[in-house]
Amino acid sequence: MSIKIRMRGKSVNGVAEIKALIKHEMESGARMNKKTGKPYPAKFIDMVEVLVNGEKTVDAQWSGAVSANPYMAVKVKADKGDKVTVQLSDNTGEKGSEVITLK
């Protein structure tokens, strides 16, 4: 199963604002299951990359401190018609990717 991403982006004067809504439970591993008394296993996004026309412009490392279903917004140098890709992976190896063409 892959991580789902909904993205939008618009370029104005060579600067694009990329907005992404990511569907992920972001479990830190610190919460305890009340029935079993054992912690829920950690499952969180640990790598985020934003590429413009295949060139990496943002490289971020996240942790379990980020909320469930996170929203991300970044500004990058890009023009109308450029292809922007957001790639994610979590600590269990699950991956997600989405590509948009800027308006």
Could you report the per-residue pLDDT of 17-59, keeping only the tens digit for each?
Answer: 999 999 999 999 899 999 999 999 999 999 999 999 999 999 9
Q: Which of 92, 103, 80 is nearest to 26 (CA)?
A: 92
* Domain CATH code at residue 55: 2.60.40.10
Domain housing 83: 4-101
Up-side HSE of residue 34: CA atoms within 13 Å toward CB? 0
- Please tell me the distance from the alpha carbon of residue 63 to that of residue 65, in angstroms, as a whole number: 5
Tell me how many domains the chain contains. Answer: 1
CA angle, 67 then 72 then 78, to 5°: 165
pTM (two decimals):
0.89
